[in-house]
């Protein structure tokens, strides 16, 4: 199987901004197909750039497989394409860009055990964020400000009083935040980021600022589930990447995180980066800034901001030449 360039599934949500539409307007018909009833799409909240999830699949753009979903492609190619770390079942990860023009609801995701019990066949969700842009004084909500009992969280759930016990943290471009499942969290307005997560769409909202949706109804919240799964202790908010920056000729590499679900590295190229897709895992490369030229034994692919590549396991050596910032994810 060849390396494929992917076009995202775009999500229109009330809190989204205009930024992603600029990145993906080149999609032409592909884009209008996703927004058939709305020919001038706005408020694009998320681009699912690396996804086999049934709620939004990335599709191949260019080449002989143009238009196929990544899921279809992997089904044809077989599980070897995913590598020896793949444990079977659903495709393990989902990668998105998120453009928050307004605050997101306060939410929490279950772990695998709770998800397995309550949502058959689905994963829980551990996720991480790499902040690409943030307005001055932009904030995130991350865990609790103090130790809480489950009773107190339940009493505050669904009400604005829950805001009094949540921790607010200022963020800036370049920050990296690891969010284990069961952590209450929210992205607040003015933040643009890339997210790597387990491939799951289970979210329990505990508070949504009493907002109304497009039909004038309050958006659904799931207080009992949110209370049941939430970690009740405050979390560390130093937000450091796991590794130090390593400089080589032509590029710099920083290990952002390595957990049981994914390993994410940031790569900045200022010449040539040499990478490898070995037998253990496929490689996701997403471009978070700049541009470059990807090359492997099969040929070249031009890359620019917002792009996403699927590189099959065992593909071997590849290079990216240019001035680009990339996130490289493996399982």
Catalytic positions, written as ranges: 205
Q: What is the DSSP string of 277-293?
A: E-TT--EEEEEEEEEEE
Q: How far apart are CA 231 and CA 207, in angstroms?
A: 16
The widest CA-to-CA distance across the chain, in whole angstroms, is 59
- Exposure string (b/e) for 105-140, b if CB count within 10 Å is 16 or more? bbbbbbbbebbeeeeeebbbbbbbbbbbebeeebbb
Residue 32 · residue 93 · CB < 8 Å? no
Q: Is 158 helix (H, G, I), strand (E, B) or coil?
A: coil
Phi, psi (degrees; rounded to nearest 5) at 21: -65, -35
Give the rounded distance of the alpha carbon of 108 from its chain centre: 15
Residue 47 · residue 13 · CB < 8 Å? no
Q: How far apart are CA 70 and CA 7, in angstroms?
A: 10
């Amino acid at each position: 199987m060849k390396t494929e360039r992917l076009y995202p599934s775009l999500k229109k949500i009330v809190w989204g901004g205009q930024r992603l539409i600029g990145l993906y307007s080149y999609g032409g018909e592909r884009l209008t197909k996703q927004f058939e009833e709305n020919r001038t799409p706005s408020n694009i909240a998320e681009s699912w750039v690396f996804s086999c999830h049934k709620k939004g699949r990335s599709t191949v753009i260019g080449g002989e497989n143009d238009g196929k979903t990544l899921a279809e492609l992997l089904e044809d190619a077989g599980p070897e394409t995913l590598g020896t770390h793949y444990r079977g079942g659903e495709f393990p990860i989902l990668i998105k860009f998120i453009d928050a023009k307004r605050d997101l609801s306060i939410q929490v995701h279950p772990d695998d055990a709770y998800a397995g019990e309550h949502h058959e066949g689905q994963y829980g969700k551990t996720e991480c964020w790499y902040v690409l842009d943030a307005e001055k004084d932009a904030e995130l909500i991350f865990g609790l400000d103090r130790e809480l009992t489950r009773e107190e969280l339940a009493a505050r759930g669904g009400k604005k009083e829950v805001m009094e016990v949540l921790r607010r943290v200022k963020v800036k471009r370049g920050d990296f935040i690891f969010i284990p499942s069961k952590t209450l969290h929210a992205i607040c307005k003015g933040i643009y980021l890339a997210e790597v997560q387990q491939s799951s769409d289970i979210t329990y909202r505990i508070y949504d600022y009493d907002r109304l949706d497009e039909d004038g109804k309050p958006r659904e919240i799931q207080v009992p589930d949110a209370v049941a799964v939430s970690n009740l202790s405050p979390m560390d908010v130093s937000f450091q990447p796991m590794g130090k920056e390593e400089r080589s000729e032509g590029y710099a590499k920083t290990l952002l995180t390595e957990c049981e679900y994914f390993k994410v590295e940031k790569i900045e190229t200022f010449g040539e980066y040499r990478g490898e897709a070995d037998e253990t895992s496929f490689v996701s490369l997403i471009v978070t800034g700049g541009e470059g030229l990807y090359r492997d034994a099969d040929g070249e692919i031009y890359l620019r901001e917002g792009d996403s590549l699927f590189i099959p396991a065992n593909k071997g050596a590849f290079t990216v030449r240019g001035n680009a910032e990339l996130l490289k994810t493996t399982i």
